[in-house]
């Protein structure tokens, strides 16, 4: 029970976990839950009915089916990109905080340089030079550029922890630097890493949706962002097809809200 309380420390955290778990389940089972194939074409612009709870789009695709199928790409790319960015940021933050001097300064100056450049614009530029963008390439691009803030947060915590007595004791007994960082300091800053991982993952989900909306991404996959892009391009508002816009937008908002609830709860618990 104590372990559960550490992972889910409050009611808000529980709500966040429930939302995240719900979308992960839908991502795994979405294609099986979809009432129709996204390749099946019906009449265009059908209003919501019992047969099509969210109606159909301009191409005659059942919107509910597209929403369920698109959950997998949005959740997979968003979460894996966030985890990749968090892993890179944690390593950079640990190294730059522990190894001060030339190594730490070079790493942080690089972080400062990258933070000056708008991340979404940089992702768009990099994606433009990639011959073909698969989901894996998208994960590498987004994850490779989403580690900057977590690197700064981890570094600040490492600078505090490395001055504590237990680190001095580890040095006296002959612990190697790598062991001190990974076995002594890292467990003490795990709540900070975990909370920032949640925030980075939220940003990665929004970035993936933004790229898909701009038409940059895997053209062969359906995602929430690509649904919004098609709805905008085909004039869903003019045709009164609000479900085509509201459904994917609401899913993006709820998934990000789940991560925000959980991340804020972890941060408040850490500093209470």
* 36 occurs within a structural domain: no
Q: Provide mean pLDDT across the span 64-72.
A: 95
In a domain, 43, yes or no: no
Position 264 scores a pLDDT of: 81
> Looking at the domain assignment, is residue 114 inside a domain?
yes
Domains: count for the chain: 1
> Which pLDDT belongs to residue 149?
86
Look at residue 33 and tell me if it is in a domain: no
If you search the block for the tokens 């420390």, which residue do you land on? Answer: 9
Tens of pLDDT, residues 35-62: 999 988 899 999 999 999 999 999 999 9
User: Token pair for residue 186?
Assistant: 């890292």
What three-state secondary structure class fits 241? coil
Is position 37 within any domain?
no
Say if 255 falls within a structural domain.
yes
Helices (H) and strands (E) in the chain, counts: 13, 0
- Tell me the pLDDT tens digit for each residue of 124-143: 788 777 767 788 888 998 99
The residues that bridge with 56 in the sheet, in sequence order, are 62
42: part of which helix (H) or strand (E)?
A: none
5 confidence band (pLDDT: 50, 70, 90): low
So what's the pLDDT on residue 172? 87
* Residue 3, pLDDT above cutoff 60: no
Give the CATH number for residue 61.
1.10.3720.10
Residue 2 lies in a domain: no
CA 164 to chain centre: 33
* Structural domain range at position 149: 11-28+54-271
Highest-scoring range by mean pLDDT, 116-125, 187-196, 198-207: 198-207
Q: How confident is the model at residue 256 (pLDDT cuts 50, 70, 90)?
A: very high
Alpha helices in the chain (DSSP H): 2-7, 11-33, 63-98, 102-116, 119-128, 135-144, 148-161, 165-172, 177-179, 186-188, 190-213, 224-233, 242-271
Does some domain include residue 19?
yes
- When comparing pLDDT for 45 and 102, which is higher? 45
């Amino acid at each position: 029970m104590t372990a559960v309380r550490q992972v889910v420390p409050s009611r808000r955290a529980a709500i966040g976990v429930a939302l995240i778990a719900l979308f992960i389940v839908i991502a795994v089972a979405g294609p099986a839950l979809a009432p129709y194939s996204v390749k099946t074409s019906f009449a265009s612009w059908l209003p919501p009915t019992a047969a099509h709870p969210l109606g159909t789009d301009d191409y005659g695709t059942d919107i509910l089916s597209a929403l369920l199928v698109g959950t997998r790409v949005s959740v997979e790319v968003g979460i894996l990109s966030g985890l990749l960015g968090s892993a890179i940021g944690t390593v950079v933050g640990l190294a730059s905080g522990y190894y001060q001097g030339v190594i730490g300064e070079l790493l942080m100056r690089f972080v400062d340089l990258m933070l000056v450049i708008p991340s979404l614009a940089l992702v768009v530029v990099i994606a433009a030079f990639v011959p073909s963008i698969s989901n894996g390439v998208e994960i590498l691009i987004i994850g490779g550029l989403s580690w900057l803030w977590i690197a700064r947060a981890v570094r600040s915590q490492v600078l505090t922890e490395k001055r504590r007595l237990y680190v001095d004791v580890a040095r006296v007994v002959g612990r190697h630097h790598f062991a001190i960082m990974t076995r002594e300091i890292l467990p003490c800053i795990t709540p900070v890493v975990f909370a920032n991982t949640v925030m980075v993952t939220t940003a990665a989900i929004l970035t993936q949706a933004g790229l898909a909306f701009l038409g940059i991404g895997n053209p062969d996959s359906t995602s929430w962002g690509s649904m919004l892009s098609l709805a905008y391009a085909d004039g869903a508002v003019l045709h009164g097809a609000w479900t085509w816009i509201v459904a994917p937008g609401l899913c993006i908002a709820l998934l990000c809200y789940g991560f925000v609830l959980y991340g804020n709860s972890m941060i408040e618990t850490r500093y209470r």
